[in-house]
Structure 1
């Protein structure tokens, strides 16, 4: 019986420590982001955020090209008979 009272006394305290209301108001930047991505500026969607997106895209395409060439070279080597 004492355990139940102890647990029951903890429940209101737990409710006070966790709050669903925000203490600081966070600005919603969704409309800004939508207008940026929907702007008809000629850039594809994966390059709309600027230089960092361009760098990541270029690096990915470069690694893809290197990997393709490397695999073609390996296939060519395996296709040739050993001397």
Structure 2
């Protein structure tokens, strides 16, 4: 059992250490430039159509949730009459 644990540890170490490093381009400067430019758009909409869709869905859910809370409060404030 102990021999299997040592072999597993060596295999895990070998696969992590021997992997070739990937060269990934740093996209942060381009994103900073894009989001910091002054074009009159709010920063939460500068990401494109996906950000606009997410913003509209969030606002719709907020309005619907607030309306439902008001409905439940009004319903709770007028108890039903028992016949």
**Structures share fold, TM-score greater than 0.5:** yes
**CA 79–37 in structure 1, closer or farther in 2 if over 3 Å, else same:** same
Alignment correspondent of 1:62: 60
Q: CA deviation at 1:16?
A: 4.6
TM-score scaled to structure 2, two decimals?
A: 0.72
Residues 27 and 75 (structure 1), Cα distance of their counterparts in 2 relative to 1, 3 Å cut: same
Tell me: CA distance 1:14–1:59, structure 2 relative to 1, closer, same or farther (3 Å).
Answer: closer
Shift of 1:60: 0.6
Question: Match for residue 73 of structure 2?
Answer: 75
Equivalent residues in 2 for 1:1-83, closer than 5 Å: 16-19=14-17, 22=21, 24-83=22-81
Unpaired stretches in structure 2, ≥5 consecutive residues: none
Instruction: Quote the RMSD (CA, aligned, Å).
Output: 2.5
Runs of 4+ in 1 over 3 A off after TM superposition: 13-17
Offset at 1:14? 6.1
Measured against aligned partners, the alpha-carbon deviations of 1:63-83 in whole angstroms (never above 9, x if no partner) come to 000010111011101111322
